[in-house]
């Protein structure tokens, strides 16, 4: 599948994530070794005609498998009709080389067992690769990579190959959605972080495309997301508790390209926590810039050399927080004694540099989305589920003031 024109890059799984993902397709034998009681038969790409998908197991947070429940299988239909599995498959695929008597037997068995063939299994059995499409911005950013990485890993466990579209602005995203809706060229779509309009969601449903939001809440569709306002509140409360009171904020200014809301929500949460703690956020302590370490460093330099420098800075990403740490180091500002620094995402780099950061479960969100997709494609009566994942602040040395110093810095009343 390809999008018209050259405005969007479509990447195959191997091109982007081969170095990070184990492209494992589990056969029925492999699954039985992990959980012999699981009522799952997997259709593999190795022998598409030898087995039929009845339900899927997907990686859970604990590393186990999720039992999606038993439903009638193609083997059940064959046994009831007194024919072979191949005959049932030919009837399902409306092939000609089946006698009228055999076809009627199969159709009666299907009705009696209430058998519903899986869209996913039929697509895989025909060798289709355009089963799932993923549309995401900034696909090289660590937080985006972590989400997509885990989602693709979950899909690949059941033999699904996904097409990845990397878009660079809202217009490109809108055109991809229109194309996928008009051409009926995908069975399921994952949208990462970019808000989906009601009209777009309706268009996808009309095209029989299953939609799942990753890092966004989509009305009427499965969605996995976090409460960014709460994330900002966590940071504000933490900084106040460590004796910081002149708080600064550095966020992404490129939100308008995709109409992102995360930066505004985190800023809103920070303001709320400071207000409840008897403090406030000065307008001059808010800086917005393009996403990047060097851009955030420049903003931090401006804040730290101003007439009223903040004594703590909350960067809306770990990438930005690295820029703040770099600026503090260059200016000789001590962290955490003179300046507290908090990031967001809790990427691996945060632990390396001792950065306090809000942990959002990036990999878990991708795993859940993969599970939701599989449910949608294998259960026609699956209802949308909206999941808000928990956030927590991981404190490290960038805000770990010693208790005596904290008491000394508490404002007097």
DSSP 148-188: HHHHHHHHHTTT--EEEEEE-SHHHHHHHHHHHHHHT--SE
Q: How far is CA 113 from the centre of its chain?
A: 36
Q: What is the DSSP letter of 314?
A: E
CA pair distance 377, 117, nearest whole angstrom: 10
pLDDT of residue 36: 31
Do the domain assignments include residue 293? yes
Q: What are phi and psi of 101, to 5 degrees?
A: -65, -50
CA pair distance 126, 72, nearest whole angstrom: 21
Total number of domains constituting the chain: 1
Do the domain assignments include residue 161? no
pLDDT of residue 72: 77
Per-block mean pLDDT, blocks of 10 residues, the chain (413 long): 37 35 28 30 27 31 36 83 84 79 89 70 50 92 95 88 90 92 82 95 90 95 96 98 97 80 96 97 96 97 98 98 98 98 97 97 96 85 90 97 57 53
CA pair distance 289, 305, nearest whole angstrom: 17
Do the domain assignments include residue 295? yes
* Cα-based angle 198, 204, 206 (whole degrees, multiple of 5): 100
Q: How far is CA 308 from the centre of its chain?
A: 39
pLDDT of residue 170: 92
- Sheet with 188-192: list strands edge to edge: 9-11, 162-167, 132-137, 188-192, 210-214, 222-226, 386-389
DSSP 252-307: ESGGGGTT--HHHHHHHHHHHHHHHTT----GGGEEEE-SSHHHHHHHHHHHHTSS
Angle separating helix axes 142-156 and 362-378, nearest 10 degrees: 40
> For residue range 91-103, what is the model confidence (pLDDT) as tens digits?
876 777 788 888 8
Judge contact between 293 and 349, C-beta under 8 A.
no
H/E stretch holding 315: strand 312-315
Do the domain assignments include residue 95? no
- Could you tell me which of 234, 244, 167, 272 has the C-alpha nearest to residue 391? 234
Do the domain assignments include residue 124? no
Do the domain assignments include residue 380? no
Do the domain assignments include residue 102? no
Bridge partners, residue 213, by sequence: 191, 223
Cis peptide before 336 (omega within 30 of 0): yes
pLDDT of residue 71: 65
pLDDT of residue 208: 85
Judge contact between 144 and 136, C-beta under 8 A.
yes
Sign of the alpha-carbon torsion through 234, 240, 241, 244: positive
User: Tokens representing 181?
Assistant: 């809706």
User: Tokens representing 126?
Assistant: 């025909």
> For residue range 252-309, what is the model confidence (pLDDT) as tens digits?
987 568 888 899 999 999 999 999 999 999 999 999 999 999 999 999 999 999 999 9
Bridge partners, residue 394, by sequence: 357
Domain that holds residue 347: 228-361+394-409
Q: 357: domain CATH number?
A: 3.40.50.2300
pLDDT of residue 158: 82
């Amino acid at each position: 599948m390809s999008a018209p024109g050259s405005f969007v890059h479509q990447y195959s799984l191997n091109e982007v994530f081969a170095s990070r993902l184990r492209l494992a397709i589990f056969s029925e034998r492999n699954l039985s070794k992990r959980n012999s009681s699981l009522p799952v038969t997997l259709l593999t790409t190795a022998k598409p005609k030898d087995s039929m998908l009845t339900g899927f197991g997907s990686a859970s947070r604990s590393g186990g498998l999720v039992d999606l429940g038993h439903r009638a299988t193609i083997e059940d239909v064959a046994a009831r009709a007194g024919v072979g599995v191949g005959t049932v498959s030919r009837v399902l695929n409306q092939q000609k080389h089946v006698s009228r008597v055999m076809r009627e037997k199969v159709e009666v068995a299907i009705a009696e067992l209430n058998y519903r063939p899986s869209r996913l299994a039929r697509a895989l059995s025909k060798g289709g690769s355009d089963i799932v499409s993923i549309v995401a911005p900034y696909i090289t950013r660590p937080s985006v990579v972590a989400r997509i990485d885990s989602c693709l890993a979950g899909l690949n466990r059941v033999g699904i190959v996904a097409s990845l579209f990397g878009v660079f602005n809202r217009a490109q995203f809108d055109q991809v959605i229109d194309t996928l809706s008009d051409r009926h060229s995908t069975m399921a779509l994952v949208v990462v972080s970019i808000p989906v309009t009601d009209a777009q969601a309706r268009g996808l449903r009309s095209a029989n495309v299953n939609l799942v939001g990753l890092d966004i809440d989509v009305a009427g569709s499965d969605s996995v997301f976090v409460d960014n306002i709460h994330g900002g509140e966590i940071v504000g409360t933490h900084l106040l508790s460590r004796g910081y009171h002149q708080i600064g904020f550095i966020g992404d200014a490129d939100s308008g390209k995709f109409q992102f809301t995360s930066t505004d929500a985190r800023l809103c949460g920070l303001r709320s926590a400071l207000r409840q703690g008897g403090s406030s956020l000065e307008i001059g302590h808010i800086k917005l810039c393009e996403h990047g370490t060097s851009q955030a460093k420049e903003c931090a330099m401006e804040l730290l050399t101003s007439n009223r420098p903040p004594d703590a800075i909350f960067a809306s990403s770990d990438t930005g927080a690295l820029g703040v740490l770099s600026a503090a180091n260059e200016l000789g500002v001590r962290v955490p004694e003179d300046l507290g620094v908090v990031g967001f995402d809790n990427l691996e780099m945060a632990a390396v540099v001792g950065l306090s950061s809000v942990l959002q479960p990036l990999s878990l969100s991708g795993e859940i989305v993969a599970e939701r997709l599989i449910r949608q494609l294998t259960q026609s009566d699956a209802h949308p589920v909206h999941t808000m994942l928990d956030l927590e602040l991981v404190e490290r040395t960038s805000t770990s003031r010693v208790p005596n110093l904290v008491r000394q810095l508490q404002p007097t009343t």
